[in-house]
């Protein structure tokens, strides 16, 4: 059973009470923490508590109001809406399935997966991207130069974290407990990575890329990169990889990599370097942070749940597996009295491959009805599907969705365990109550 974790208030306040005040109530009352909550922060607190607080002027900052002290809080990220925060340092937040209903994921609904601390005070005009390593002419480009020297394209592209679905593994795997929401399909505007690589000249010795970004390590150590992944040169030269400077026609959200990021759809999201500053072409597999097993790797043979696996028995995975999501209705709906059928909608995707079919079941997988797939906006976009199920009698139902890819692979009921909790493409299910007529 997947569980959704919000940040506990005490956990939040214990880490950094000032930051907690800011997150929960929008402002810090006083830097030395002896002050009192005022203005917008007070208004936010009163709203959260459901009314005016007569003695607010005596209420110490950093005090967790008793009314919500045993609760959890939706830690808010400016410009994001409805995301469930799994961690606040580094910031990691996923999107509930019903908020991913749009064909194009709005910026405010695109999940956030950070391994470190995003850069502050980004200077867009001075931002440069260097291409180095096994190239004929190492070069640097400002964002303006990228825009003027290469064709600018816009594509709807899925980015899915390799650990999406991790919460479904038992025994649990360490790391962010993503349920289903580490997936997004925004429209990205940028230039093709392929065009830029061809301009600098790819040497025949180049077999791998390495990606570097401007975020910093949680430890503060400037020598350490929080994440630096790469892909095979064949994948890098796919014309659907973008060096992107816009998301849905607007500036990229700061947490999604502004002002410049890679979007490498199909492979784990970690390949899509945010705050991109440099791409190195290497003559062997890139050795940046989180390239080596067990990161983004699974055992090369099935293992018993909970088993210890030697690093040498891991393989780095590439394309993400076929998967689907039910985005409408949201789980837990009760139908109107007398309603005996339900229309459903969602999306499906299959890494580097193509979704050919989506099916729905309301009898725990005993029988299936086929949904209709809308045409793809472009390769590597997710596909939107629509379908209908009918209910023979009142009661509790689960609706399961499963997608099939063009290689005939079908989503499983559950996936084999792996130590780091990657690649969980088990079927998505929602609960529906059908009342007595
Ligand atoms: N520089 C940098 N790029 C990064 C990351 C990071 O921590 N630092 N996280 C990666 C991971 S693991 C994922 S899944 C995607 C998530 O992209 P998003 O946060 O825009 O949804 O960004 C990738 N790019
Ligand atoms: Mo990720």
273 Cβ inside 6 Å of ligand 1: yes
Atom of ligand 1 minimally distant from the CA of 255:
19
pLDDT of 36 above 90: no
Q: 43-47, 197-201, 213-217, 388-392: which has the minimum mean pLDDT?
A: 43-47
Query: What's the pLDDT tens digit per position in 323-337?
Result: 999 999 999 999 999
For the stretch 348-385, pLDDT in tens is 999 999 999 999 999 999 999 999 999 999 999 999 99
pLDDT of residue 85: 86
214 CA closest ligand 1 atom index: 1
Region of residue 405 (phi > 0: left; psi between -120 and 50: alpha; otherwise: beta): beta
Per-residue pLDDT of 235-268, as tens digits, reads 999 999 999 999 999 999 999 999 999 999 999 9
Residue nearest to atom 15 of ligand 1 (CA): 269
With 50 as the cut, is the pLDDT of residue 32 above it? no
pLDDT average, residue stretch 276-284: 98
Distance (angstroms) between ligand 1 centre and the Cα of 217 equals: 13
DSSP letter string over 48-110? HHTS--TTGGGPBTT---GGGTTSEE----TT--SPEEEEETTEEEE--GGGG-SSS--GGGS
Residue bearing the CA closest to ligand 1, atom 2 = 274
Our mutation pick for probing the ligand 1 site, out of 161, 289, 351, counting the most ligand atoms within 8 A of Cβ, is: 161
**Residue 14 — very low, low, confident or very high, per pLDDT cuts 50/70/90?**
low
Quote the CA–CA distance of 273 and 270 in Å, as a whole number.
7
Token look-up 């480009």 returns 141
Residue 115 Cβ inside 6 Å of ligand 1? The answer reads yes
What is the rounded average pLDDT of the residues 36-61? 71
Which ligand 1 atom is nearest residue 290's CA? Answer: 12
What is the mean pLDDT of the segment spanning 87-100? 92
Asked if residues 255 and 80 have their Cβ atoms less than 8 Å apart, the reply is yes
Main-chain phi, psi angles of 416, to 5 degrees = -65, 145
pLDDT of residue 191: 99
Give the global pTM: 0.86
Q: Is 84 in the pocket of ligand 1 (CB under 6 A)?
A: no
DSSP state of 265: T
Atom of ligand 1 nearest to the CA of 262: 24
CA of 274 to the centre of ligand 1 (A): 6
Q: Which of 12-26, 52-66, 251-265, 416-430 has the lowest mean pLDDT?
A: 12-26
């Amino acid at each position: 059973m997947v569980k959704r974790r919000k940040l506990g208030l005490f956990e939040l306040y214990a880490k950094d009470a000032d930051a907690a005040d800011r997150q929960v109530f929008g402002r810090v009352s006083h830097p030395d923490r002896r002050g009192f909550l005022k203005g917008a922060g007070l208004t936010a607190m009163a709203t959260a508590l459901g009314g005016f607080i007569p003695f607010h002027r005596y209420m110490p900052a950093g005090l967790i109001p008793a009314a919500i002290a045993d609760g959890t809080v939706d830690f808010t990220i400016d410009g994001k809406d409805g995301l469930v925060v799994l961690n606040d340092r580094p910031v990691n937040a996923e999107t509930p399935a019903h908020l991913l209903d749009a064909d194009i994921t709005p910026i405010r609904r695109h999940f956030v997966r950070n391994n470190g601390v995003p850069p502050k005070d980004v200077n867009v005009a001075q931002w440069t991207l260097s291409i180095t390593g096994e190239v004929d002419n190492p070069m640097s480009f400002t964002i303006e130069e990228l825009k003027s020297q290469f064709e600018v394209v816009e594509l709807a592209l899925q980015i899915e974290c390799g650990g999406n679905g991790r919460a479904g593994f038992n025994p649990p795997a360490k790391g962010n407990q993503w349920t289903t929401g580490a997936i997004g399909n925004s429209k990205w505007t940028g230039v093709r990575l392929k065009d830029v690589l061809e301009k600098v000249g790819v040497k025949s010795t180049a077999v791998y890329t390495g990606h570097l970004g401007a975020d910093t390590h949680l430890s503060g150590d400037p020598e350490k990169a929080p994440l630096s992944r790469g892909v095979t040169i064949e994948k890098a030269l796919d014309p659907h990889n973008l060096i992107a400077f816009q998301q849905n026609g607007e500036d990229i959200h700061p947490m999604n990599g502004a002002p410049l990021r890679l979007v490498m759809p199909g492979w784990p999201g970690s390949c899509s370097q945010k705050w991109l500053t440099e791409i190195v072409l290497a003559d062997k597999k890139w050795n940046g942070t989180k390239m080596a097993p067990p990161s983004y790797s699974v055992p090369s043979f099935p293992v018993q749940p909970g088993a210890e696996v030697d690093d040498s028995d891991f393989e780095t995975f590439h394309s993400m597996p076929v998967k689907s999501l039910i985005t409408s209705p949201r789980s837990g709906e009760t139908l109107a009295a007398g309603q005996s059928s339900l229309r459903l909608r969602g999306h499906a995707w299959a890494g580097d491959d193509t979704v050919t079919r989506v099916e729905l079941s309301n009898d725990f997988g005993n029988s299936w009805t086929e949904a209709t797939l809308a045409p793809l906006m472009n390769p590597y976009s997710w596909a939107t599907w629509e379908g209908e199920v009918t209910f023979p009698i009142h009661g509790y139902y689960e609706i399961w969705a499963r997608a099939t890819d063009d290689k005939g692979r079908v989503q499983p009921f559950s996936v084999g365990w792996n130590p780091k909790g990657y690649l969980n493409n088990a079927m998505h299910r929602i609960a529906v109550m059908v009342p007595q007529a």
